Amino acid sequence: MKNAKIKSTLLKALARAGKIVRSNFGKKQRIAKKGEFNLVTEIDKASEKAAVELILKHFPHHSILAEESPAVAGSGCRWIIDPIDGTTNFAHGFPIFSVSIGFERNGRLEMGGILDPTRNELFFAERGKGAFLNGTRIHVSRTKMLSNALVVTGFPYDRKENPEDYLDMLRVFLTKVQCIRRTGSASIDLCYVACGRFDGYYEMKLAPWDKAAGIIIVEEAGGRLTDFSGHPLTLVGPQNLATNGRIHREMLQMLKSFKNLK
């Protein structure tokens, strides 16, 4: 199977879904709750439908894993889709969210694209070919010390049941880094590590669609991704750490007391 067709389809699906998201941003939405803090809007569903339909039109036998609909079982080629990563931001009119599509072949991520429709920023990577922002190659930052680093994090949906661990993690970093940010979109966070806007990112309990495309974008930009014990990051593991590589050991040291969290 030619990667050119995969890439073309992925970019078209991102563009189609992104257009739906962008054109409806700021408008009144029908909002439902999947959990106390986990929102879904009608635009999540419309964005996902547009992307999935286009992908299956070109690759009807491929598998699909998407956030808002049942998985589609097919071949060893799988598309992993988040129609709006940052739905809470989108629903509140806060302009940080993205559409994320990763492509996996036989369990190995091969391609990923993340579109920020409010900034017209398209991040894309293909295995072995580098990572790009709007066609220009990107690289992780060169920050060497955690004390000089801008770090980003997020808070899982179960934070009401288990706030102390997440607050403790925040306390650990608060006085050790230059500053901490929280955007509300894991895909954006990973892209910003890839292009050097952030030096490091940690978060618990991401879903596969939150990180699939971002993983390969960070890898191809020269970054490092692991769990809190230093093992390679997986789509299903609960611990997520992505850095420029240079501060990775320091961040692992800070997170060592949390390595058994699940």
pLDDT digits (tens, 9 = 90+) for 80-118: 999 999 999 999 999 999 999 999 999 999 999 999 999
Pair (97, 221) in one structural domain: no
Write the CB contacts of 245 (distance below 8 Å, at least 6 apart in sequence): 140, 222, 223, 224
Q: Which of 31-35, 108-112, 197-201 has the lowest mean pLDDT?
A: 31-35
Last residue within a domain, chosen from 94, 115, 137: 137
67 is catalytic: yes
The pTM of this model reads 0.95
Note whether 8 and 132 are same-domain residues: yes
Query: What residue numbers bound the domain in which 28 lies?
Result: 3-137
Which residues, at least 6 apart from 186, have a Cβ–Cβ distance to it below 8 Å?
Answer: 85, 154, 203, 206, 210, 211, 214, 240
Q: Which residue has the higher pLDDT, 250 or 30?
A: 250
pLDDT of residue 162: 79
Helices 186-194 + 208-220 axis angle, to 10: 0
Tens of pLDDT, residue by residue over 205-222, are 999 999 999 999 999 999
Based on the fold, state whether residues 10 and 66 are members of the same structural domain: yes
- Asked whether the CA dihedral 2, 79, 238, 40 is positive or negative, the reply is positive
Q: Which amino acid is at 196?
A: G
Q: Are residues 126 and 63 in the same domain?
A: yes
Same domain, yes or no, for 98 and 211?
A: no
At 37 the pLDDT is: 59
When divided into structural domains, the chain yields a total of 2
Last residue within a domain, chosen from 137, 158, 187: 137
Task: Please check whether residues 103 and 152 belong to one and the same domain.
Answer: no
> Based on the domain organization, do 11 and 98 belong to the same domain?
yes
Q: Name the least confident of 28-37, 69-78, 148-157.
A: 28-37
CATH number of the CATH domain containing 78: 3.30.540.10
What rounded mean pLDDT belongs to the chain? 94
Q: At what angle do helices 42-58 and 3-24 cross, to 10 degrees?
A: 160
**Among 1-5, 15-19, 62-66, 220-224, which stretch is predicted with the lowest mean pLDDT?**
1-5
Which of 44, 82, 110, 220 is the catalytic position? Answer: 82
Assess whether 234 carries a catalytic annotation: no
Please compute the mean of the pLDDT values over residues 19-40 and round it to a whole number.
79
Residue 1 above 60 pLDDT?
no
78 and 118 co-located in one domain: yes
Task: Say whether 210 is catalytic.
Answer: yes
CATH of the domain at 191: 3.40.190.80
Confidence of residue 36 (pLDDT cuts 50, 70, 90): low
| pLDDT (average), residues 216-235 | 98
Cβ atoms within 10 A of the Cβ of 158, count?
A: 16
**Judgement on whether residues 124 and 198 belong to the same structural domain of the protein:** no
Pick the last residue of a domain from 106, 137, 168: 137
Please identify which of the residues 67, 116, 199, 227 carries the catalytic annotation.
67
Q: Are residues 122 and 150 in the same domain?
A: no
Say if CB 142 and CB 244 are below 8 A apart: yes
Which of 68, 85, 126, 189 is labelled catalytic? 85
Which of 186, 193, 208 is CA-nearest to residue 242? 193
Q: Is the pLDDT of residue 38 over 70?
A: no
58 band by pLDDT with thresholds 50, 70 and 90: very high
Catalytic residue (one of 6, 20, 41, 87) = 87
Taking only the tens place, the pLDDT of each residue in 111-164 is 999 999 999 999 999 999 999 999 999 999 999 999 999 999 999 877 777 788
Between 163 and 200, residue with greater pLDDT: 200
**Over 60: is that where the pLDDT of 35 sits?**
no
Q: Out of 210, 219, 220, 227, which one is annotated catalytic?
A: 210
pLDDT of residue 2 exceeding 60: yes
In the set 20, 80, 84, 101, the catalytic residue is 84
Residue 60 makes CB contacts below 8 A (sequence gap 6+) with none
For residues 171 and 82, state if they share a domain.
no
Q: Give catalytic status of residue 87 as yes or no.
A: yes
Using pLDDT thresholds of 50, 70 and 90, give the confidence band for residue 27.
confident
Same domain, 22 and 54: yes
Whether the Cβ atoms of residue 156 and residue 204 lie closer than 8 Å to each other: yes
Residue 84 is among the residues annotated as catalytic for this protein: yes
